[in-house]
Structure 1
Amino acid sequence: MISDTLLFRSPTCTPRDQVAGIALSKIAEVNPGDYAKQMFRAGSALGNKTPEEILHQDFKKFIFGDTTFGVGQISSMDTDELYEIADKLRPQLEIEAAKSGMSMVFFMLTNIIDEDTRLMCYGKDAPEVVQVAYNTEIGDDGIAFLPKVVSRKKQL
């Protein structure tokens, strides 16, 4: 529950989730914040994973009309770690698009504590889609900063 709701911060989180999560944490005698930190650190510990493994750790493929695209996501509590991941993944987005035939590939680098996402994108129209959808610019590093965006399901 803590993972799915990003420690009760995701827009997918319901009041019922919060009540149940707090009740379960009392039964388990666990501090939800401390537990979340340990869990998210373990989940973002990439160790010896290849860029392809990182991309596919949490990746979904979508079809919208004639357009097929994919969106991956990783969550961390450390912005520096997210930028390190971005450096590893940049070439992998292009490889994934070519290999799978997707016209666009996106990857969300989500900071759970700051409740924001750095969005990487690859594909012919991908930067324009992001700029128009979020009224934002793509930085020189090819990443768009999306404040208050943490959920692929509801916000991307």
Structure 2
Amino acid sequence: MAKILVFGHQNPDTDAIGAAIAFSELQQQKGQDTEAVALGEAGEETQFALDYFDLKAPRVITKAASETTDVMLVDHNEFQQSVADIAEVTILSVVDHHRIANFETADPLYYRAEPVGCTSTIILKLYKEAGLTPAKAIAGIMLSAIISDTLLFKSPTCTQEDIDAAKELAKIAEVDINTYGLEMLKAGTNLKDKSADVLLDMDAKSFPMGDKSVRIAQVNTVDLQEVFDRQAELEEAMAKANDTNNYDLFVLLVTNILDSDSELLVVGEPAEKVEKAFNVALDNHRAFLKGVVSRKKQVVPQLTESFK
């Protein structure tokens, strides 16, 4: 019997990869034959965490049905964010902290979704419910995922449950949360040697909104101007992505992880929906959003409402 594949969303961030590793390890301890895989290469932030805790990056797949019949999803549920042939395999379980949309199965499944800042927070609960404790390295990658998704607890998505889970995992992993966390986040802000296409694809998700397809990418930095010095290059790449992938609107959210603010760059139509969502006027395709750091909580819901 083929292994059950466990994976997060396309363009995986630290939680997508960390949650897959941790959930697969949990399933193995419970007697399942699973393998954590990824739907894209690990970014620098994630690789920093993997290297720090001496973990190997999961192998990358583009399709699942050619090697298994059963999969488990973490950190996503929407089919357009999943493996290309998701409709051809059986989804045994989902552990997620996002909205539920564009998702259905023919068979019953285990579904665990909670409104917390990080999937790995939920997975720690599952370990405890099973009477198990994650190993040091697994605790480390789960902690890394929480730090990443909550921007070291500064994101409005962060809950007390995330903070408590991070403290518990930090003890197991034997690290100082603030020292390690800032070092890890900064590792993901090295943008100078990356092309515009790479920047736009590092952390990007597609969303159906009304009758439109909206692509929302997020880039973390410690210097907004460093990114916007490349505005012309980014706009050209965004327009090309719209044409190639039939996106109607491409929104780039550039987030300063130190100041906890963001600036938008918008290419496509209807751009007025962005202005309506955030009560701003785009100037040179840009708008500053004070205090906005979370795509999940501060961008997607507002845009979705604007498109109704």
Q: Give the TM-score range, shorter chain.
A: 0.7 to 0.9
1:49 and 2:194 aligned: yes
Partner of 1:146: 289
Say if 1:62 and 1:70, in contact at 8 Å, map to a contact too. yes
CA-atom RMSD, angstroms?
Answer: 1.8
* 1:67–1:92 Cα change, 3 Å: same
SS at match of 1:150: coil
Identity %: 38
* Alignment size in residue pairs: 154
| Uncovered stretches (5+) of structure 2, i.e. residues with no partner | 1-145, 300-308
1:115 counterpart (245, 249, 260): 260
Partner of 1:130: 274
Higher Cα Rg, which structure:
2
For residues 33-53 of structure 1, what are the alpha-carbon distances to aligned partners after superposition, in whole Å with 9 as ceiling and x for unaligned?
332322122112134322111
Task: Report the CA distance between 1:87 and its aligned residue.
Answer: 5.1
1:15 and 2:160 aligned: yes
Tell me the TM-score normalised to structure 1 length: 0.88
**Which protein, 1 or 2, shows the higher relative CO under an 8 Å CA cutoff with sep ≥ 6?**
1
SS at match of 2:253: strand
* 1:135–1:65 Cα change, 3 Å: closer
* 1:47–1:89 Cα change, 3 Å: same
* 1:138–1:65 Cα change, 3 Å: closer
* 1:85–1:27 Cα change, 3 Å: farther
SS at match of 2:262: strand
Task: Report the CA distance between 1:81 and its aligned residue.
Answer: 2.9
Q: Counterparts of 1:39 and 1:153 in 2: how far apart (Å)?
A: 21
Partner of 1:3: 148
Partner of 2:247: 102
Task: Report the CA distance between 1:74 and its aligned residue.
Answer: 1.0
